[in-house]
């Protein structure tokens, strides 16, 4: 369901206003809208047109069943089984600082003290409920694919996020879902040759939710790019 009278933003506007949303309204998103967003995702560039990766979109009882399975695994103390390395094995200090700054900004907005470890854990565990979004998407890739195919899948995910933004919807990438890739495999009966890459929460943003007031900073152009011959 797209917003009535919603004007689709330009690509630059969509990228500028996009953020990770962690508070959603319960409004459903139609199948037609989700299918259109996933079709846009598949239009992303793909080396040799391999089009790596799959998307499993869930809503209603299937989404609740997956969230319940993840909650049960966490409550039972089931060990995490990551199927690939998301972050560097040893996080450099400058990247660790960015990670902490983003986390502290979120916890501050939610009124969670830095030493409130239980509060921080409960907030993190909301990843496994897709932050109560009406749609949850599980992203997978064939384990035989090379590193370049992960890059192609990343471009498809970005196209998905931009497409949702252009339709007045909000998203949040959920890398934490890969921590329990085995649980997701069991709950969704995924093929054995697929790796769980991440999840995506999709829905209408709750603009009154304090978590959605947080914006992470981006490095200025001169830090991450060089301009030669201009």
Give me the CATH number covering residue 190: 3.40.109.10
- Tens digit of pLDDT for each residue in 26-64? 999 999 999 999 999 999 999 999 999 999 999 999 999
What distance in Å separates the CA atoms of residue 46 and residue 145, rounded to the nearest whole number?
13
Q: Which of 184, 228, 224 is nearest to 56 (CA)?
A: 184
Establish if 4 belongs to a structural domain: no
Beta strands in 170-228 (DSSP E): 170-174, 194-203
CA angle centred on 112, ends 110 and 114, rounded to 5°: 135
pTM: 0.92
* Residue 142 lies inside a defined structural domain of this protein: yes
Both structure tokens of 6: 């919603």
Q: Is residue 205 part of a domain?
A: yes
- Asked whether residue 218 is domain-assigned, the answer is no
Quote the number of domains for the chain: 1
Give the pLDDT confidence score for residue 1 in this predicted structure. Answer: 45
Which residues span the domain enclosing 135?
18-87+129-210
Q: Does residue 110 belong to any structural domain of this protein?
A: no
pLDDT tens by residue, 168-177: 999 999 999 9
Report which of 131, 151, 161 is spatially closest to residue 197, judged by C-alpha positions.
151
Cβ–Cβ < 8 Å for 127, 48: no
Q: For position 89, what pLDDT does the model report?
A: 86
Is residue 67, in this structure, part of any structural domain at all? yes
**Main-chain phi, psi angles of 17, to 5 degrees:** -95, -10
């Amino acid at each position: 369901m797209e917003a009535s009278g919603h004007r689709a933003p330009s690509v630059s506007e969509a990228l500028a206003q996009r953020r990770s949303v962690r508070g959603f309204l319960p409004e459903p998103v139609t199948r037609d809208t989700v299918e259109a967003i996933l079709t846009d995702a598949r239009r992303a560039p793909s080396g040799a047109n391999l089009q790596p990766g799959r998307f499993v979109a869930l809503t209603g009882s299937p989404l609740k069943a997956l969230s319940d399975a993840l909650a049960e695994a966490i409550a039972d103390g089931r060990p995490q089984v990551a199927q690939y390395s998301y972050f560097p094995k040893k996080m450099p200090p400058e990247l660790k600082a960015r990670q902490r700054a983003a986390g502290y900004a979120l916890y501050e907005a939610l009124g969670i003290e830095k030493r409130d470890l239980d509060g921080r854990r409960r907030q993190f565990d909301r990843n496994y409920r897709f932050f109560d979004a009406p749609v949850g998407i599980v992203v997978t890739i064939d384990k035989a694919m090379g590193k370049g195919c992960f890059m192609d899948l990343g471009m498809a995910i970005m196209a998905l996020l931009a497409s949702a933004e252009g339709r007045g919807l909000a998203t949040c990438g959920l890398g934490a879902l890969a921590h329990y890739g085995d649980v997701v495999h069991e709950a969704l009966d995924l093929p054995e040759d697929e790796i769980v890459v991440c999840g995506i929460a999709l829905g209408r943003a709750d603009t009154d939710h304090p978590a959605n007031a947080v914006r992470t900073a981006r490095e200025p152009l001169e830090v991450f790019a060089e301009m030669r011959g201009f």
